[in-house]
Amino acid sequence: MNLTLYPLEGLPLVTPGDDLPALITDTLTQNDLSLQNGDVLVVAQKIVSKAEGRLVNLTTVKPSEAALDYGRMSDKDPRLVELILSESREVLRVRKNLIIVEHHLGFISANAGVDHSNVSGPWGDAKDWVLLLPKNPDASAAHIRHKLEEKFGVRIGVLIIDSHGRAWRLGTIGMTIGLSGLPGLVDLRGEPDLFDYRLRVTQVAASDELAAGASLVMGQAREGRPLVLARGFPYPLREGCLSELLRPKEADLFR
């Protein structure tokens, strides 16, 4: 079956307290699209964080000693570093302009996902505002999903994505940070291959594959298309969560 990714145009700028499911419904209508059983709605982290009020003004942040140290090591604003540390369980690597951490949500991440771009706040200078990741992206996805399922009378999935760098490759790709109603991981172990062997180690990170494809059509700069409707997701929908995708620390290949 074909997979079609529809980037939605015309979502207004999202601000804290906005009713995101209602905005998404309006945007779908504006794009002459409705939701069908089996669709997955892919949502950029930024609009979820903004709706949930995860904006912080750096002038209100007092850096700790650790933040000052890591700020010197990374050449980053120590107030920003303070926020990165507060979002993290552990610092793994520090380089110029880059602090790699294990985020409280359990994944490895550059700068704990704390971001300056495409952000402004309700007062002061836009350059002082930064955005944290949603507190519980699986719950955010479930909230959006249930509101949309109710509205459209369908069974769908909702996937929240962010752009992640990679240790050995340049460039970012879209990755899952939260999901509801679709599989994160699809286990094909035991399925026969073309010659009737059992595939031995194949687990497909299905929601990460969709996250990357959807990210491609979202664009990163001025475009501002943070919603993508995916029609034709090839695996059966089921309950799912981010932790399916996280390698247990003891099986982490690089610590």
By CB under 8 A, the residues from 222 to 241 that bind a second copy are 222, 224, 232-234
Distance CA 121, CA 129 (A): 6
Distance CA 136, CA 134 (A): 6
Out of 59, 199, 238, 239, point to the residue binding a second copy (CB under 8 A).
199
Interface segment toward a second copy; rule CB under 8 A; list 81-89, 130-138, 142-150, 187-195: 187-195
The two tokens of residue 87 are 């979002």
Q: Toward a second copy, which CB reaches closer, 66 or 216?
A: 216
The DSSP string of 81-134 is HHHHHHTEEEEEEEETTEEEEEETTSSEEEGGG-B-TT---SSS-GGGEEEPPP
> Cβ of residue 83: shortest distance to a second copy, in angstroms?
17
> Cβ of residue 63: shortest distance to a second copy, in angstroms?
21
Q: Toward a second copy, which CB reaches closer, 176 or 180?
A: 176
The two tokens of residue 114 are 């704390």
Among 22, 27, 33, which Cα is nearest to 226's? 27
Cβ count near 122 (within 10 Å): 10
Based on the shown chain and the rule CB under 8 A, indicate whether residue 23 belongs to the binding site for a second copy. Answer: no
Based on the shown chain and the rule CB under 8 A, indicate whether residue 188 belongs to the binding site for a second copy. Answer: yes
Distance CA 165, CA 14 (A): 25
Q: Toward a second copy, which CB reaches closer, 64 or 172?
A: 172
Based on the shown chain and the rule CB under 8 A, indicate whether residue 11 belongs to the binding site for a second copy. Answer: no
Based on the shown chain and the rule CB under 8 A, indicate whether residue 22 belongs to the binding site for a second copy. Answer: no
> Cβ of residue 140: shortest distance to a second copy, in angstroms?
20
